Amino acid sequence: MAIGVKVMKRPEKQVSYVRATLKGMVLTFKHMLEKKVTMQYPEQKSTDREHGLGTYSLSPRWRGTHRMLTDEQGRSKCVACGLCPQICPANCIKLVPGEDEQGHRYPLIYEIDEFRCIFCGYCQEVCPEEAIHVGTHFENSEYSRGRFVYDLERLSSQTHAVSTLWDPADPKGE
Amino acid sequence: MTPELKGFLLLSVIKMVIVFTIIMVGVALLTLMERKVSAWMQNRHGPNRVGWAGLLQPAADGVKNILKEETFPAQANRWLFTVAPALSFIPALLLSAVIPFAAPLPVDFDFTLGPLGRFVHHGPMPMVVADLPVGFLFVIAISSLGVYGIALAGWSSNSKYALLGGLRASAQMISYEVAMGMSLIPVLLLSGSVSFSTIVAQQQAGLWYVMPLFLSFFIFTIAGFAETNRLPFDLPEAESELITGYHTEYSAMKFSFFFIAEYANVVTVCAMIATLFFGGWDIPFTDWDRSGGVLPTLATWLVFFLKVLFWVFVVMWIRWTLPRFRYDQLMALGWKVLMPIALAYIMVMCVAIYVVERVLGITSPVLASLALFALNVGLGILVFGLLDSGVFIRGSGYRQQERLKERGARTARAAVAG
């Protein structure tokens, strides 16, 4: 042999072609009869409650695009405290605070640049009013780059479920 | 031209159009079937977006391939580069002309068609495009031509990978051609004819040849896989080592011509298996299929179609089960295993047929077939036992192992002497 081939020390019974071939063919045929595992994406989504493929559910801890929660009057819960732009490691939250006659603070401008966001979820963790949340959502395509800067109205009008962040005190989410 | 000749020509043209259409549409659907089967074997769905259950996927692929840009490598031999796909495609289609696909259909007509004159046909029309008396030899001859397309494609691309693919294809096809031809000689011995129609008729009288000639069938099937360059013998393509070999440089429709050729070859080999070993269009356990008429013709056509489809499925099944052979294993299997078995089998069958027919004087074809079948069971157990025990085929590392053992013995002797 010109080329040194690594010699596996197998008993000759093990290198038999016929039995191995038949065994393999039985295996592949069994697979033909098994349940299909592919998720048919546009019809079935991993965010669906019932998609029939239980194991592919999106994790409740999935950190997707943001959502601003609102109170009963439809105003955002944000009190413009400024903690989220402070903690944001990607510096993607723009907040201009305002104050009404009763002294209630509210955001005049609240914008999140989803391109700069690294989806760490710190904003949700730090928010004292539980106003800003990251969501369990993954279909984010847009026709222009400008649409990826989500303003307050956009953040408040999104309806997808919000993420339940990982709690160090309860690591398994129980 | 006599009216009879004109009638014959008319029928031939109709048959040609029908067979060509069926083969082309069938080949297109086989590409879908391949993808479906592979998907099912991997717990996937396969293409299911275009049309119902993905049935229009081949059409979408065809449109895509026609619209794509054709590229020519700068240093390619342009003329051969263009001709090569056709050279591999034409022999593949030619073969479908001689396979009988249904029971003969009685056709009687006598009419005059304007300036063309009278057309006459009486009696049964063989359901085969060309009922060649040497159909068998025609298949053996033409199927070897397919290698020209592949070898020329590999050479004219002026690419190392393509050239290696072409070389491998020619070496492989020539090697397995020998075993294939040898494995079919017992069929000729038993049927006494090289006409497919006669071979089918003989199987109807006796048993399907897969029983009395099992080893022939076994060798032919393996050689057929190699002839069509299908896994586990797809060395010429070998996408992981040769980036798909001979069609590396091809694009657009020229690329898909190679695939049409491959699938047409698969269909032909499967039709050959069905015709030579599984009774062709024969419906087992009944003589009704030979009674003549439209219904038996349609039924036998359907049965033939199912037989071919089954073997096509087996071809795909094996493709998605087995890994590729290493090149030396491929050559060893062809020359050291299949050809000696085929040669020995010819001799054994010669003697066996002589003994059964002349010495024992068994004239009933069924009894003779059964006697040969009994012999084949014994031979099959012997051959499979030997194959399975690893006596015939060993990894090439085996030789190194032997050498190491020898060296060890020598050093041991030297130690004793010292």
Most confident of the following: A14-18, B108-112, B193-197, B317-321? B317-321
Q: Name the closest residue on chain B to residue A25, using Cα atoms.
A: B321
**pLDDT, tens digit, 9 for 90 and up, residues B218-244:** 889 888 888 888 878 877 777 777 777
Arithmetic mean of pLDDT, B378-394 = 71
pLDDT at B400: 62
Q: Which tokens sit at B24? A: 């082309």
Which has the closest alpha carbon to B29: B1, B2, B60, B5?
B60
Distance of CA A36 to CAs A11, A51, A52, B43, B139, Å? 37, 13, 11, 5, 41
pLDDT > 60? residue A52: no
For the record, the structure tokens of B188 come out as 């000729």
The single-letter DSSP state of residue A70 is B
pLDDT for A172 equals: 62
The answer to whether the Cβ–Cβ distance between A32 and B45 falls below 8 Å is no
Per the structure, the complete domain to which residue A145 belongs is given by: 66-157
Size of interface A-B (CB pairs under 8 A): 69
- Classify residue A76 by its DSSP letter: B
Q: CB-based contact (8 Å) between A100 and chain B?
A: no
- Residue B71: what pLDDT? 82
Is there a cis peptide before residue B3, judged by omega within 30 degrees of 0?
A: no
- Can you tell me the distance from the alpha carbon of B62 to that of A143, in angstroms, rounded to the nearest whole number? 31
What ipTM was predicted for this assembly? 0.71
Look at residue A99 and tell me if it is in a domain. Answer: yes
The β-bridge relationship of strands B124-127 and B102-106 is: antiparallel
Most B CBs within 10 Å, among A36, A39, A56, to test the B interface? A36
Helix (H) or strand (E) holding A98: strand A93-99
Our CA-based measurement puts residue B174 at a distance from the nearest CA of chain A, in whole angstroms, of 23
Q: What percent of chain B has pLDDT over 90?
A: 1
* Minimum distance, in Å, between the CA of residue A21 and any CA atom of chain B: 7
Tens of pLDDT along B74-98? 887 888 888 888 888 888 888 888 8
B294 alpha-carbon distance from chain centroid: 29
Averaged pLDDT, B35-55: 86
B43, B390, B400: residue with CB nearest A31: B43
Is there a domain that residue A24 lies in? no
- Kindly give the pairing relationship between strand A132-134 and strand A66-68: antiparallel
- Closest chain B residue to the Cα of A30, Cα to Cα: B41
In the block, tokens 């295996």 appear at A27
Residue B304, φ and ψ in degrees, nearest 5: -60, -45
Please determine, for residue A51, whether its predicted confidence score (pLDDT) is greater than 60: no
**Eight-class DSSP state of B338:** I
**Percent of chain B scoring above 70 in pLDDT:** 96
Which phi and psi (to 5°) does residue A128 adopt?
A: -75, -25
Strands B102-106 and A149-150: unpaired
- Mean pLDDT score of chain B: 82
Mean pLDDT of B5-26: 85
pLDDT beyond 50 at A1: no
How far A42 CA sits from the closest chain B CA (Å)? 11
Q: So where are chain B's domains?
A: 69-105+126-417
A77 occurs within a structural domain: yes
> Looking at B193-298, which runs of residues are DSSP E strands?
none
User: Does any domain span residue A163?
Assistant: no
A2 touches chain B (CB under 8 A): no
Least confident among A34-48, A63-77, A105-119, B213-227:
A34-48
DSSP helix/strand/coil, B233? coil
Residue A131 forms part of a structural domain: yes
Write the CATH number for A90.
3.30.70.3270
Distance CA B193, CA B375 (A): 22
Average pLDDT score over residue span A27-42: 84
Contacts of B287 (CB under 8 A, 6+ apart): none
> CB A28 to CB B387 under 8 A?
no
In a domain, residue A128? The reply is yes
Q: What are the residues whose beta carbons fall under 8 Å from the beta carbon of A23, sequence distance 6 or more?
A: none
> How confident is the model over B190-216, as a mean pLDDT?
82
- Predicted confidence band at A8 (pLDDT cuts at 50, 70, 90)? low
A21 close to B (CB below 8 A): yes
Radius of gyration for the alpha carbons in chain A, expressed in angstroms and rounded:
26
Distance of alpha carbon B3 from alpha carbon A151, whole angstroms: 86
What are the residue ranges of helices labelled H in A57-148? Answer: 83-87, 122-126
Whole-prediction pTM:
0.79
pLDDT given at position B216: 87
Query: What is the tally of helices (H) and strands (E) in chain B?
Result: 15, 4
The answer as to whether A76 is a domain residue is: yes
CA distances from B221 to A14, A155, B268, B369 (A): 24, 65, 12, 21
Residue B121, H or E segment: strand B118-121
* Domains: count for chain A: 1
Q: Using pLDDT thresholds of 50, 70 and 90, give the confidence band for residue A166.
A: low
Question: Helix, strand or coil for residue B354?
Answer: helix
Q: Do B387 and A18 touch (CB under 8 A)?
A: yes
Give the separation between CA A44 and CA A38, rounded to whole angstroms: 10
Assign A99 a pLDDT band (cuts: 50, 70, 90). confident
- Which residue pairs, CB below 8 angstroms and at least 24 apart, start in B13-22? B15/B127, B15/B128, B15/B129, B16/B97, B16/B129, B19/B96, B19/B97, B19/B101, B19/B129, B20/B93, B20/B96
User: For residue A119, is it within any domain?
Assistant: yes
Say whether pLDDT at B103 is over 80.
Answer: no
State the average pLDDT over residues A37-45.
79
Interatomic CA distance for residues B232 and A107, integer angstroms: 67
pLDDT at B155 over 60: yes
